[in-house]
A and B are shown apart, each in its own frame.
Chain A
Amino acid sequence: QVQLQQSGPGLVRPSQTLSLTCAISGDSVSSNSAAWNWVRQSPSRGLEWLGRTYYRSKWYNDYAVSVKSRIIINPDTSKNQFSLQLNSVTPEDTAVYYCARRLSTARAYYAMDVWGQGTTVTVSS
């Protein structure tokens, strides 16, 4: 059974960096059939996909335009986890952050089927 366990601080000061980690059990961050995503949820923006990392003979990343200048998603193969780094945060980045897996095969993409428990992050001084 695949599980994703999130960790990271719940309070970040404005202009600082938000850092979260998603530890994977039951699958591999280097899997050739998975993509590892970050999604956030807030009352004002709803559910918002932020970006993903995945391995297909080499590492790829894709990011939402809304955060592209501030976001880094990194895999950590030694710990079988991936991380989210969001720089220069403002109160608008206050949200519940989720990590999620999306599988694919050569023939088709599947939906995000496994989610982390969520981390409530507040940006405030």
Chain B
Amino acid sequence: DIVMTQSPDSLAVSLGERATIDCKSSQSVLYTSNNKTYLAWFQQKSGQPPRLLVYWASTRESGVPDRFSGSGSGTDFTLTISSLQAEDVAVYYCQQYYSIPYTFGQGTKLEIK
């Protein structure tokens, strides 16, 4: 199984400041035949299901504010929130869907400083 490891486990950022969450996969999730990276980022607020933010490592899902961006390649990935808003308080997960079993990171809890 591909192991997904996020850092940090928790993060406190001031409103309007940048938040950065890292994710590392135990093996590459790049599908070379189509050059697509099968890495997604989800946001989960309390009592709600995960919400897809980013797929293919850097493609923003429809309706997701442009302050959210994904980057990275191979085995190292980053989710950046450029200017933190109060409604961004949540737990964030990375997930690989390169191979089954699909696996998730342990989550990063984002709070307001």
Task: Verify if A107 is at the interface (C-beta below 8 Å from B).
Answer: yes
Task: Verify if A2 is at the interface (C-beta below 8 Å from B).
Answer: no
Contact yes or no, B36 A46, CB < 8 A: no
B interface bracket (residues with beta carbon within 8 Å of A): 20 to 34
Task: Verify if B34 is at the interface (C-beta below 8 Å from A).
Answer: yes
Interface of A is mostly: strand
Which A residues from 79 to 114 make CB contacts under 8 A with B?
A: 98, 100, 102, 107-113
Contact yes or no, A49 B61, CB < 8 A: no
Which A residues from 32 to 63 make CB contacts under 8 A with B?
A: 37, 46-49, 52, 62
**CB-contact partner of B102 in A46, A49, A65, A107, under 8 A:** A49
Contact yes or no, A118 B49, CB < 8 A: yes
Contact yes or no, A116 B103, CB < 8 A: no
With most chain A CB atoms within 10 A of its CB, the pick from B38, B95, B102, B104 is B102
Contact yes or no, A49 B36, CB < 8 A: no
**CB-contact partner of B97 in A47, A65, A98, A109, under 8 A:** A109
Task: Give, as a whole number of angstroms, the nearest-CB distance from A71 to chain B.
Answer: 12
**CB-contact partner of A111 in B34, B52, B100, B101, under 8 A:** B52
Q: Taking beta carbons and an 8 Å cutoff, which residues of A are in contact with B?
A: 37, 46-49, 52, 62, 64-65, 98, 100, 102, 107-113, 115-118
Q: Taking beta carbons and an 8 Å cutoff, which residues of B are in contact with A?
A: 31, 34, 36, 38, 40, 48-52, 55-56, 61, 93, 95, 97, 100-104, 106-107
Selected A-B contacts with CB under 8 Å, 15 pairs: A37-B102, A46-B106, A49-B101, A49-B102, A49-B103, A52-B100, A98-B49, A109-B31, A109-B38, A111-B52, A111-B55, A111-B56, A112-B95, A113-B61, A117-B49
**Besides A112-B102, A117-B49, 10 other A-B contacts (C-beta < 8 A):** A46-B107, A47-B104, A49-B103, A107-B34, A108-B34, A108-B56, A111-B95, A112-B97, A115-B49, A115-B51
